[in-house]
Amino acid sequence: MTTPSRELRLSVIVPAYNEVSTIETVVARLREVGLPMEIIAVDDASTDGTGAVIDRLVAERRIDQGLKHPVNQGKGAALRSGIARATGDVIVVQDADLEYNPEDLPALLEPIRRGEADAVFGSRFQSGPRRVLFFWHAVGNRLLTLASNIFTNLNLSDMETCYKLVRREVLQRLPLTSNRFGFEVEVTARLSQVNARIWELPISYSGRTYAEGKKITWRDGVAAFFHILRYNLLPPPGDWRSR
């Protein structure tokens, strides 16, 4: 169990694919939060100069670790690379697209700091402010969360949220294999399978349109339903569930 009185250090993993216009702003916003943290940026074979920006930010010591994939492998693969290199007490993913606000991180960290949680999910569907966008995206997210809850027996309101803070010693032990957007489904299933103590708190959310660079599509939503069946009904063998 995490010691409640000790200040925790975050490992923030920033997966980036063609985010040259936002990656530097995201890093600046993370540093403004003031929490002890390391920032690990993973360039998933971008073609727009994102990798060069990451290299510069590493040289300026604004990013602690800059990782590069020689070929595009997907968000889940980028996250696995970052998770393997993380050294902080708690790991969180920060998308490079400005949809999630780092100012929410201190409040999300609190249940773990108090020793009451192993993971904290930031929900876009509780009472936090959010940009008004696509109705069917919201419906799809709620349906995916419902389907996931049926198998995990959790009562989450936002399984697909990017903001999942997880104790490093727990997350690095989970057998994660997803390469694309199935990561959110898989990590939720694995946390349930190790009986992790999960909290959920509201966050703000400023979703972007496809014209602004949003990458996830309806095909990823359909695939997520199959991921829910796969990761919940066919967990990998081994003793990884012992905590």
pLDDT at 239: 84
Task: Average pLDDT across each block of 10 residues of the chain; the chain has 243 residues. List them in order.
Answer: 68 96 97 97 97 98 98 96 98 93 97 98 81 68 94 96 97 94 94 97 76 59 88 89 72
| Phi, psi (deg, nearest 5) at residue 211 | -65, -25
DSSP one-letter string for 48-117:
SSHHHHHHHHHHTTSSSEEEE-SS---HHHHHHHHHHH--SSEEEE--TTS-S-GGGHHHHHHHHHTTS-
Instruction: Give the three-class secondary structure for 229.
Output: helix
pLDDT at 243: 58
Helix or strand run (H / E) with residue 178:
none
- Joined together, the tokens standing for residue 139 give 């419906």
Count CB-CB contacts under 10 A for residue 22.
Answer: 20
Q: Where are the domains of the chain?
A: 10-233
- Which CATH fold would you assign to the domain 10-233? Spore Coat Polysaccharide Biosynthesis Protein SpsA; Chain A (3.90.550)
| Phi, psi (deg, nearest 5) at residue 76 | -60, -40
